[in-house]
């Protein structure tokens, strides 16, 4: 969802625009895949009738819907590392980098707050006021960026290689810590003394008496961002720079290993926690999903590098370039008052046609947004060139 950050990364890595776009295409493709999975999950969830929800179609749709949020957070970390590396290479001071990146995170957080206000206004009077304080994916994306900016600021030294190694180590440790403490923060050591709007940022309790799996609190979701941050900095190591294809094969292998370890740990006879909930809070499930992120990252790279992804126009890459916009807009046409189909009353066929319409509409919106930004940049360059000519002495 970090469209602006992704664009900065393409420039800041020091490559030409064409080479930068080639190198970062797999990130856009992976983000676009998350958009597609998000569309189908939301559409079927909003429109399918109770009868249509009983079959395997709806079950698999919602299972696939567990992937977009981890993908967005994982890519948030990668994009953050790309931007930070670019600023390091330009010699930007650590305080300036921290201010830029943390402020960008704050902007994303405010966007999340604004999104909740919009949904409340459009849903009034049926929407409860407590929805204004719901912890959603944009909120956690903003918080993740602010925390990553702080970590990178603390890790920065006079030598860029040292800063990179320290950032990788710190990100891995923080991801592991977030995963390990989640089960106790959700059960035996809940921070119930806090007001619920604050506690909800820790365990997603909201107004209920127990943490809710459909919210996006700091724990465990921040772990995906830090895992992506570590992966992003690894992409700038000397080994990856000189052996990129081999490095991504190793990333795929690391994904397989992570999944196998997650299964092995889950079957271990000894448990560290008094309450063990594999599907919602366990470190094993988070490790499994991180492994899946690495496998998707490898597959995205392979599809863009060796497959047909960049042979002509790619709708997936296009959606990935404007993921924040299409996320924001499609929600109202699926869940809101402007829903293009009646909610909870459609068959699978009808909902699939609606999904196709949402896909086409969001793709058109994405293309328009990209063209508008290109025209805006071209106008700015032309105005700058005219200004320089005017300043030149006759």
Q: 135 with 200: CB under 8 angstroms?
A: yes
Q: 46 with 334: CB under 8 angstroms?
A: yes
Question: Given this model, what pLDDT does residue 327 score?
Answer: 95
SS3 for 48? strand
User: Tell me, what DSSP letter sits at residue 51?
Assistant: T
Q: 142 with 109: CB under 8 angstroms?
A: yes
pTM of the predicted protein model: 0.90
Give me the phi and psi of 48, to 5 degrees please: -65, 140
Question: Given this model, what pLDDT does residue 6 score?
Answer: 46
Question: Given this model, what pLDDT does residue 7 score?
Answer: 46
Residues of the chain with pLDDT under 70: 1-23, 391-394
Question: Given this model, what pLDDT does residue 392 score?
Answer: 65
Question: Given this model, what pLDDT does residue 23 score?
Answer: 55
C-alpha to C-alpha distance for 18 and 286, rounded to whole angstroms: 36
Question: Given this model, what pLDDT does residue 124 score?
Answer: 85
Write the pLDDT tens digit of every residue in 298-345: 999 999 988 888 888 999 999 999 999 999 999 999 998 899 999 999
Write the pLDDT tens digit of every residue in 157-210: 877 777 899 999 999 999 999 999 999 999 999 999 999 999 999 999 999 989
Question: Given this model, what pLDDT does residue 194 score?
Answer: 96
Reply yes or no: is the peptide bond before residue 125 cis, omega within 30 of 0: yes
* Token digits of residue 25: 């295409």
- Long-range contacts formed by 207-210: CB under 8 A, 24+ apart: 207/130
């Amino acid at each position: 969802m970090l469209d602006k950050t992704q664009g900065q990364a393409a420039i800041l890595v020091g490559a030409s625009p064409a080479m930068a776009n080639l190198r970062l295409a797999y990130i856009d493709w992976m983000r676009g895949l998350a958009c597609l999975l998000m569309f189908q999950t939301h559409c079927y969830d909003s429109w399918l009738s109770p009868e249509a929800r009983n079959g395997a179609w709806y079950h698999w749709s919602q299972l696939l819907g567990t992937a977009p949020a981890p993908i967005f957070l994982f890519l948030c970390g990668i994009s953050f590392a790309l931007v930070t590396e670019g600023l390091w290479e330009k010699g930007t001071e650590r305080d300036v980098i921290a201010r830029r990146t943390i402020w960008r995170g704050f902007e994303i957080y405010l966007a999340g707050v604004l999104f909740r206000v919009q949904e409340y206004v459009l849903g009034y009077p049926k929407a409860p006021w407590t929805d204004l304080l719901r912890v959603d994916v944009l909120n956690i994306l903003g918080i993740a960026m602010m925390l990553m900016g702080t970590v990178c600021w603390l890790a920065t030294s006079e030598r860029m290689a040292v800063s990179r190694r320290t950032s990788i180590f710190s990100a891995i440790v923080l991801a592991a810590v977030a995963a390990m403490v989640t089960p106790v923060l959700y059960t035996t050591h809940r921070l119930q003394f806090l007001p619920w709007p604050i506690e909800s940022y820790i365990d997603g309790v909201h107004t209920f008496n127990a943490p809710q799996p459909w919210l996006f609190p700091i724990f465990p979701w921040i772990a995906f961002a830090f895992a992506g941050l570590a992966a992003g900095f690894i992409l700038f190591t000397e080994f990856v720079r000189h052996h990129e294809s081999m490095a991504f094969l190793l990333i795929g292998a690391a994904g397989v290993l992570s999944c196998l370890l997650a299964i092995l740990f889950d079957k271990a006879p000894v448990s560290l926690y008094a309450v063990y909930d594999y599907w919602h809070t366990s470190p094993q499930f988070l490790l499994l999903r991180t492994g899946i992120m690495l496998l998707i990252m490898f597959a995205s790279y392979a599809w863009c590098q060796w497959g047909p992804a960049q042979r002509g126009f790619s709708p997936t890459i296009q959606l990935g370039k404007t993921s924040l916009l299409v996320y924001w807009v499609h929600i109202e046409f699926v869940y809101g008052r402007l829903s293009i189909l009646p909610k909870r009353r459609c068959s699978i066929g009808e909902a699939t046609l609606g999904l196709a319409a949402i896909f086409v509409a969001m793709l058109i919106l994405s293309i328009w947004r990209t063209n508008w930004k290109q025209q805006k940049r071209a106008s700015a360059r032309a105005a700058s060139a005219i200004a320089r000519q005017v300043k030149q002495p006759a």
